[in-house]
Chains A and B, each alone.
Chain A
Amino acid sequence: MSEFSRFFWERRGEILALTGEHLLLVVAATALAVAIGVPLGVALTRRPGLARPVLGFANAVQAIPSLALFGFLIPVPWIGGIGARTAIVALVVYSLLPILRNTHAGILGVDPAVTEAASGIGMTRGERLRLVELPLAFPVVLAGVRIAVVVGVGLATIAAAIGAGGLGVLIYRGVATVDHRLILAGAIPAAAMALLFDFGLGALEKRVGPRS
């Protein structure tokens, strides 16, 4: 074990750099997924006819195996190619569904008496959304973000296969050279990152909700 610790310590610079890349992939993808998923989720509550097809489509995309999705994206012009950009696009696609679905469910879950009161006292639609619906839906949206982030940390390890960097680099290299130490040097920080996000966002979720 001390031999393993030394191995780890000697590569701390690389491990740290790859952890940083990994984090960047996940954070960038989640931020984009929130920026797309929350407004889209809200829009779907205003157009119930579109909700089923759009959520169904997002569900179907989610079912595509991740490596296959990376493969599909590589030849696509503008967003494709080898590297982090393609990986981020794929991560956004996967993160979108939980955020979209939870935003939609969260807004629809607001007590109708409360939304009626909001309109009844003279809030515009925008004020109602900003002051009442989004704050009340926030714990549910946050739960979706939490799922998206945890799944994203896992998927980002696979993104190394298309040259996106991140901790997956160590895992793939370790597999290729049959070096367990190298595999663990990628796997342990990745697992820790997923657990930390899950714990941190879970704690935040407890603090903000549920409200009634």
Chain B
Amino acid sequence: MTSPALEYVDVRKAFVPGRPVLDGFSLSVAQGETVALVGPSGCGKTTALKLANRLVDADGGAVWILGMASAEHDPVALRRRVGYVIQEGGLFPHWTVRENVEAVPRLLGWPERQRRARSEELLAMVGLPPAEFSERRPRGLSGGQRQRVGVARALAAGQPLVLMDEPFGALDPIARRAMQREFQSWRARLKAAVLLVTHDLREAFLLADRVAVLEGGRVRQVGSREELTRSPADSFVREFVAEFGS
């Protein structure tokens, strides 16, 4: 039996004492699986995500990342193994598209030739032909193109686990649809486990193998679209799915 790529066990986290953002939060993401974390804003989705690359550390419980307890990971080394895509891309504006994509391989000290081959492969994959886009800067790209670069950057070092925080949230509906469609094929090719945070339940159903509904600092239910629709665990899940799921 293989261990999950990411597992949260009864995690508690409070930024303000006495007001936990996460309380009794448990979830696991198998290798190669995509799990979407959905819930109303302020429910702790992003905090949960940041626990997985140690941008945030838990107060209690355990987080297992790539087979090791989070506290045993050196944060910097861990973050180079865990891809991270944020809303609006967070691209480095002073670097070209290629330099952005090659950021992690460069930090890892890959030789130039290998970096170049990898960035060209990934740019082609996300639909930005390298001949046309490599030397451009983020400023000259559309929101959708920037987000594609962000995805390529998160995958450039062959990360086995990728965290995505509202990756398509800032895009117009057309660009969003296109990225959602292509996401499936990227995932199939890269075989990375993905934890995807979104407030959009329909997007979650579309992209994820399983969807976790988060409310009040813990996961109310995890399952497929069918499971969440047919047998909601409680009234919150039932109403959430009924209201946003179709």
User: Which A residues fall within an 8 A CB radius of B?
Assistant: 111, 113-114, 116-124, 127, 131-132, 135-136, 211-212
Query: Which of B80, B86, B90 is A122 in contact with, Cβ under 8 Å?
Result: B80
B155 to chain A, nearest CB (A): 11
Whether B77 contacts A118 by the Cβ 8 Å rule is no
Complex Cα gap A120–B104 (Å): 10
Q: A119-B55, A121-B80, A132-B92 are in contact. Are A127 and B107 (CB under 8 A)?
A: yes
Query: Which of A117, A124, A135, A136 is B86 in contact with, Cβ under 8 Å?
Result: A117
Q: How large is the interface on B (under 10, 10 to 19, 20 to 34, 35 or more residues)?
A: 20 to 34
Whether B76 is near chain A, meaning CB under 8 Å from some CB there, is yes
A95 to chain B, nearest CB (A): 26
Whether A120 contacts B86 by the Cβ 8 Å rule is yes
B241 to chain A, nearest CB (A): 31
User: Which B residues fall within an 8 A CB radius of A?
Assistant: 53, 55, 76-81, 84, 86-94, 103-104, 107, 139, 153-154
User: Could you say which residues of chain A place their CB within 8 Å of the CB of B53?
Assistant: 120
Whether A135 contacts B94 by the Cβ 8 Å rule is yes
Whether A114 contacts B93 by the Cβ 8 Å rule is yes
User: Could you say which residues of chain B place their CB within 8 Å of the CB of A131?
Assistant: 92
Complex Cα gap A111–B93 (Å): 10
Whether A122 contacts B107 by the Cβ 8 Å rule is yes
Q: A121-B103, A121-B104, A127-B107 are in contact. Are A211 and B76 (CB under 8 A)?
A: no
Whether A114 contacts B76 by the Cβ 8 Å rule is no
Closest chain A residue to B53, Cβ basis: A120
Q: A122-B80, A124-B76 are in contact. Are A117 and B90 (CB under 8 A)?
A: yes
Identify which of A113, A114, A124, A136 gathers the most chain B CB atoms within 10 Å of its CB: A114
Whether A211 contacts B94 by the Cβ 8 Å rule is yes
User: Could you say which residues of chain B place their CB within 8 Å of the CB of A119?
Assistant: 55, 79
Q: A122-B104, A122-B107, A212-B139 are in contact. Are A117 and B79 (CB under 8 A)?
A: no
A53 to chain B, nearest CB (A): 27
Complex Cα gap A114–B139 (Å): 13
